[in-house]
Structure 1
Amino acid sequence: MSTFSRFFPFLKPYLSRMVLAGLLVMGVAAINLALLRLAGTLWDIITVQHDQSRMTDLIAVFLGLVVLQGLCSMGHSYLTAWISQRIVADFRQHLFAHLQTLSVSFFARRRTGELLSRLMNDVTVIQSVVTETPLDSVKQLVTFVGGITFLLTMNWRLCLLILILLPLLVLVAKFFGRRLKSLSTSIQDQTAALSTLIEEVISGIRIVKSFVQSHREETRFAAQVEQTLTLAMRRAGTMAVFIPVISLLTFSAAAAVLWYGGRQVIDGSVSPGDLFAFVLFAGIMIGPFSSAARVFAQIREAQGATQRVFEILDTRSEVSDSSTAMSLSTVSGHIRAEQVSFAYDPRQPVLTDVSFEAKPGELVAIVGPTGAGKTTVMNLLHRFYDPTEGHITIDGQDLRQVTMDSWYRQIALVPQETILFGGTILDNIRYGAREAAEEEVVEASRAAHAHDFIMSF
């Protein structure tokens, strides 16, 4: 549970609403208990006392409680849904914002599909455990405590018949919980791998078609789907056994209560109404026991997703502003690399003792065979990575001593492949300068020889 406690900062802004939802759900549980006790009293009035006037009054009270319970249920259902969606939205935004701070090296080591799976699927798995589950647990707790209180007051011997199964229920839940956690983590990993495969094939569809590898990719996809299906069916099989076993144990207690209580009614020591109410209470006690088992299983399932999500949040950027970094003023463009060495993997250096200079106004081309380090030089100039040795300066200032944002605003990146973000053409042209006037946008599109075909749309 220590991992789930890290969600508290996201829960804190909504604690007052969660408390209100908790009070409403406690009200629903308490009214439900009162209705059951009232039903037992009505049973005696109808079958034993034959008091029509009192029956009418109690039925009116019964209907009033039903209406009040409905209002409380509507309130807590809406509040729970609102809180749940807001917390998940906040957490997704926080996770997405953190991803923006990480170095390019992080994304180079991770596949896009895996990150998408963690941002979307894993967060969804966590959602109910940190929002809906606590409120449902409050409801079940009130039901359990209130139910046990009524049962003990009415007949403590009958109550013991139900409680005797509690240790067995805990052991069964613990056994199945370990199994469910392992299977759920494997399914989440497999889902991430499947998302990655889809992303790779779609983004590289031209290569797939050009090399006539459609059948190969279909085979890979089918194999991944089968692995996911196998794991999902194993988990479904475990759940298919888990829930009925819990229910069987609880219904066995109810049957024992009915047998034992029925004998006492026949003996005259218990009224029919009390037995009727007792059986109803015993029936609703199945809810807390089954819910406890289900919640335990959900927590186990969510632990794997939580670990995966916080693994990202615990990652720190390898390239960041130093505490002494200063904002870079307008530069003239004098770049110097002095004895720069770099390696993505310490065992395989890419650049060794490289030095060069590019003065303002010069057009400098870096050429060489594949793997010579041309892209690496561009990555170092853009400060996507820092040199392992040596340094790069701009107008005499070490790039590591200026803030990254102020440096990025001074340079432009032209990728080999065109990338269009969601939005309009105007939004894409303005991407690096959101405040640019429309005249500036038109001028930029003309400079790129794109204005005429843009206007043809």
Structure 2
Amino acid sequence: MAKPLSLFISHLFSLNSNYALLLVLSLSLIVLAAITGLGNYLRRYASAWISQRGSFELRRDLYDALLRQSFRFYDRQRTGQLIARATGDIRQIERFLGFGLPTLLSSLLITILIVSSLLALDWRLTLLSGVILPLIALTAGRYAMEIGPLWSEIRERFGRLTSIVQEVLAAIKLVKAFAREDYMMERFS
């Protein structure tokens, strides 16, 4: 293996320097692309594993907690609402662990690198560019205040919808026996 490699290197340096540089840069680009691809694969694999593992643990803990609840708890709660909240909340956490957390960490790292670079170039310009940050924070906070109640309403309606579907499916034979499909469809709508 050492003989062909040494022949390649000696041949490379005997070529025109522009051609040799082009060859080295091309090979470097290929190696960099392979390393980037491997890094992306490992990042996606780790994100998927973490999100799946986390959601599995949450589902198991939730199921355990639901099994330990009293009869009074189930008298006050609608089954469909519990199902909708459990699946929806766990799905949101799974998405955060799989996509949100890696994006957050990546954005944080990029921000640190950019601010460090700006500080190295000119600290006064860095401070000047930071003046807009409170405006961005206020805009994001206002958006969160407006969207929060809407999101809660959507979750509540989805819970009611799931309750209706669960009730109908649990009693589908009675619904069909008494020809109540139209009434149930009205409730669903």
Q: Shorter chain as normaliser: what TM range?
A: 0.7 to 0.9
By how many angstroms is 1:64 displaced?
2.5
By how many angstroms is 1:197 displaced?
0.5
CA distance in 1, matches of 2:130, 2:24: 35
Which blocks of at least 5 consecutive residues in structure 1 are unaligned? 1-50, 223-457
- The residue that corresponds to 2:68 in the other structure is 101
CA distance in 1, matches of 2:120, 2:19: 27
What letter matches 1:150 in structure 2? S
Residues 183 and 89 of structure 1: CA distance in aligned 2, closer, same or farther (over 3 Å): same
Q: Is the 8 A contact 1:117 1:191 kept in 2?
A: yes
Q: Is the 8 A contact 1:112 1:199 kept in 2?
A: yes
What letter matches 1:92 in structure 2? R
By how many angstroms is 1:89 displaced?
0.8
Pairing of 1:147-166 with structure 2 (within 5 A): 147-154=114-121, 163-166=130-133
1:79 aligned to 2:49?
A: no
Residue-by-residue CA offset, 1:231-276 (whole Å, 9 max, x unaligned): xxxxxxxxxxxxxxxxxxxxxxxxxxxxxxxxxxxxxxxxxxxxxx
By how many angstroms is 1:184 displaced?
1.4
Residues 161 and 65 of structure 1: CA distance in aligned 2, closer, same or farther (over 3 Å): farther
Residue-by-residue CA offset, 1:324-344 (whole Å, 9 max, x unaligned): xxxxxxxxxxxxxxxxxxxxx
- The residue that corresponds to 1:89 in the other structure is 56
CA distance in 2, matches of 1:64, 1:159: 35
- The residue that corresponds to 2:175 in the other structure is 208
CA distance in 2, matches of 1:107, 1:180: 30
- The residue that corresponds to 1:173 in the other structure is 140
Q: Is the 8 A contact 2:85 2:159 kept in 1?
A: yes
- The residue that corresponds to 2:3 in the other structure is none
SS of 2:36 mapped into structure 1:
helix
Determine which structure has more spread, i.e. the larger CA radius of gyration.
Answer: 1
Relative to its length, the structure with more helix (as a share) is 2
By how many angstroms is 1:175 displaced?
0.9
- The residue that corresponds to 2:113 in the other structure is 146
By how many angstroms is 1:122 displaced?
1.8
Relative to its length, the structure with more strand (as a share) is 1
What letter matches 2:112 in structure 1? V
- The residue that corresponds to 1:68 in the other structure is 35
Pairwise CA RMSD: 2.7
Pairing of 1:55-454 with structure 2 (within 5 A): 56-130=23-97, 132-154=99-121, 163-222=130-189
What letter matches 2:78 in structure 1? R
By how many angstroms is 1:92 displaced?
0.3
Which blocks of at least 5 consecutive residues in structure 2 are unaligned? 1-17
Q: How many residues were matched structurally? A: 172
CA distance in 2, matches of 1:150, 1:66: 25
Residues 128 and 101 of structure 1: CA distance in aligned 2, closer, same or farther (over 3 Å): same
Q: Is the 8 A contact 1:122 1:188 kept in 2?
A: no
Residues 211 and 102 of structure 1: CA distance in aligned 2, closer, same or farther (over 3 Å): same
Percent identity over paired residues: 28
Residue-by-residue CA offset, 1:350-408 (whole Å, 9 max, x unaligned): xxxxxxxxxxxxxxxxxxxxxxxxxxxxxxxxxxxxxxxxxxxxxxxxxxxxxxxxxxx
Name which structure has the greater RCO, CA cutoff 8 Å, separation 6+: 2
Q: Is the 8 A contact 2:47 2:97 kept in 1?
A: no
Taking structure 1 as the reference length, what is the TM-score of the superposition?
Answer: 0.34
By how many angstroms is 1:96 displaced?
0.5
By how many angstroms is 1:129 displaced?
2.8
CA distance in 2, matches of 1:75, 1:158: 37
SS of 2:135 mapped into structure 1:
helix
What letter matches 2:88 in structure 1? N
What letter matches 1:74 in structure 2? Y
Residues 106 and 87 of structure 1: CA distance in aligned 2, closer, same or farther (over 3 Å): same
By how many angstroms is 1:157 displaced?
7.4
Taking structure 2 as the reference length, what is the TM-score of the superposition?
Answer: 0.76
CA distance in 1, matches of 2:123, 2:31: 31
CA distance in 2, matches of 1:71, 1:206: 54
SS of 1:165 mapped into structure 2:
helix
